[in-house]
Amino acid sequence: MTYTSPIPQLGLGTFGRTGDAGIQAILSAIEVGYRHIDTAQSYDTEGCVGEAIRRSGLPRSEFFVTTKVADTNLSKVDFLPSVEKSLETIGIDQVDLLLIHWPSQNDAVPFDDYMLALAEARQRGWTRHIGVSNFPIALLDKAFALLGEDAVITDQVEIHPYLQAPRLVSHCRSKGLVLTAYQPLCKGAVNDDPLLKAIAKSHGVTAAAVALAFLMAEGHAVIPASSSIENLKNNFASQDVNLTADEISRIRTLDRSARHINPAKSPRWDD
């Protein structure tokens, strides 16, 4: 599947990469070659991302930085000041992608309020692109109706070989919307999968790299996290793995709707 999104297809997750150890992990990833870095207001890693970018000595223009507005900052009063604060914390004038992290639970904040504030952040030049996270089909369609079908460039959702989200994927493909797969390694569990291990062996890579290559072959962006140089390198190598059509079909059979991130504030999922 041809990938044409402005979002670099392989990125780095930063959840849990806080403090000096977090800065070091992000810097190591930059040295390995990662340029798309995913953070969020709620991760406490925005500052680490900014610091790692500065310490790398590379120009800001080399990077694609995503952050997310927390569900506690969705109200009209809090939204835009929270984005200004994110920019200040990261130490940049503009992010590349700004996402709504979670939709407002039970419409506590009206949908139009926070989606229009997201569009306003882009209009002000605080982000190049906008998107959403943890949005099911019904909310995506509401967003398309409000802002137009080209406004939102991704929905960042849990997707890995054990949760392939076929309904959501099919709908997004029909709309030309790229999904960003979070927790793509199922927290590392994919590395113990017998099928992925067997395919990995024939390609001379890790099972994790096969999982990432599979998700990218399905047309998704992926944002695995790691603090280990070895894992960072192995995951980065997924970009050079070309799976056969038969391998892709076999990995598709691993789907078992196994969702791990499902807090009380979750919307009604499609898969």
CA 267 vs. chain centroid, Å, equals 18
Map residue 134 onto helix, strand or coil. coil
Q: In 3D, which of 217, 242, 219 has the Cα closest to residue 170? A: 219
Residue from the set 10, 38, 121, 126 that interacts with ligand NAP by CB under 6 A: 38
Check residue 41 for interaction with ligand NAP (CB under 6 A): no
Q: State which residue has the least CB distance to ligand NAP.
A: 13
Q: How far is the CB of 226 from ligand NAP (least distance, A)?
A: 3
Amino acid at 184: P
What torsion, rounded to 10 degrees, do the Cα atoms 33, 34, 36, 37 define? -140
Q: How far is the CB of 199 from ligand NAP (least distance, A)?
A: 15
Q: How far is the CB of 168 from ligand NAP (least distance, A)?
A: 14
Residue from the set 50, 184, 236, 241 that interacts with ligand NAP by CB under 6 A: 184
Check residue 73 for interaction with ligand NAP (CB under 6 A): no
What are the φ/ψ torsions at residue 131 (nearest 5 degrees)?
Answer: -165, -170
Residue from the set 132, 139, 223, 241 that interacts with ligand NAP by CB under 6 A: 223
Check residue 238 for interaction with ligand NAP (CB under 6 A): no
Within 75-134, which residues bind ligand NAP (CB under 6 A)?
101, 133-134
Check residue 37 for interaction with ligand NAP (CB under 6 A): no
Separation CA 240–CA 63 (nearest Å): 21
203 is in an annotated binding site: no
Q: How far is the CB of 122 from ligand NAP (least distance, A)?
A: 19
Check residue 67 for interaction with ligand NAP (CB under 6 A): no
From residue 207, give the alpha-carbon distance in Å to each of 60, 168, 185, 194, 219: 33, 25, 9, 9, 19
Residue from the set 109, 179, 215, 225 that interacts with ligand NAP by CB under 6 A: 225
Residue from the set 55, 124, 167, 187 that interacts with ligand NAP by CB under 6 A: 187
Q: Is 182 a catalytic residue?
A: no
From residue 205, give the alpha-carbon distance in Å to each of 31, 62, 247, 251: 20, 27, 14, 16
Catalytic residue among 3, 34, 43, 182: 43
> Closer CB to ligand NAP, residue 20 or residue 246?
20
CA 56 vs. chain centroid, Å, equals 22
Helix/strand/coil (H/E/C) assignment for every residue in 24-75: HHHHHHHHHCCCEEECCHHHCCHHHHHHHHHHHCCCHHHCEEEEEECHHHCC
Paired strand residues for 98: 67, 130
> Closer CB to ligand NAP, residue 57 or residue 219?
219
Q: In 3D, which of 154, 128, 131, 156 has the Cα closest to residue 61? A: 128
Check residue 30 for interaction with ligand NAP (CB under 6 A): no
Where does this chain bind ligand NAP (CB under 6 A)?
13-15, 38, 101, 133-134, 156, 182-188, 191, 206, 208, 223-228, 231, 234-235, 261
